[in-house]
Amino acid sequence: MVNADPARLRQLVQVLLDNALRYTPPGGRVDVEVKPAALPGGVLGFELLVTDTGIGLVEAERPLLFDRHFRGSNARQFRPDGVGLGLPIAQTIAQAHGAQLVLHSRPDGGTQAVLLIAQAETNAAAAA
């Protein structure tokens, strides 16, 4: 369990899935994985990975991907539509939940979105 607004967390995951599906050509692959993770400071949490075999990122553009209205050159070429708000919204939601959202370009092409979010304290742990 995590302490989160379910609607906003769902919106964040939808943005990541929508981007992966939107920018992966037919015949490509999108994988989703959730696993336990140790976060910075030894906090227990979860890692959500959305990995695709799509168009990938231009590494030099990575620092701009969470800027409002920015769309990477690969995205603009592949799909000229879009306004560049999905990732900034996802980043804002992640930050509001104390989570971290990072995008990685994969060497073989494609992108991996990683969301790190802390596990909710259980009543037993909070009482200790």
Claim: this prediction has a pTM higher than 0.95: no
User: Tokens representing 100?
Assistant: 């971290």
End-to-end C-alpha distance for the chain, whole angstroms: 18
- In one-letter notation, the amino acid at residue 109 is G
β-strand pairing of 30-38 with 100-105: unpaired
SS3 of residue 60 by DSSP: helix
pLDDT score, position 122: 60
> CA 68 from chain center: how many Å?
16
Q: Which whole-number Å values give the CA distances from 73 to 49, 101, 103, 125, in the listed order?
A: 23, 21, 16, 47
Which H or E run contains 103? strand 100-105
pLDDT in tens, the chain (128 residues): 898 999 999 999 999 999 999 999 999 999 999 999 998 888 899 999 999 999 999 888 888 899 999 888 788 888 878 788 999 999 999 999 999 999 998 877 899 999 999 998 764 444 44
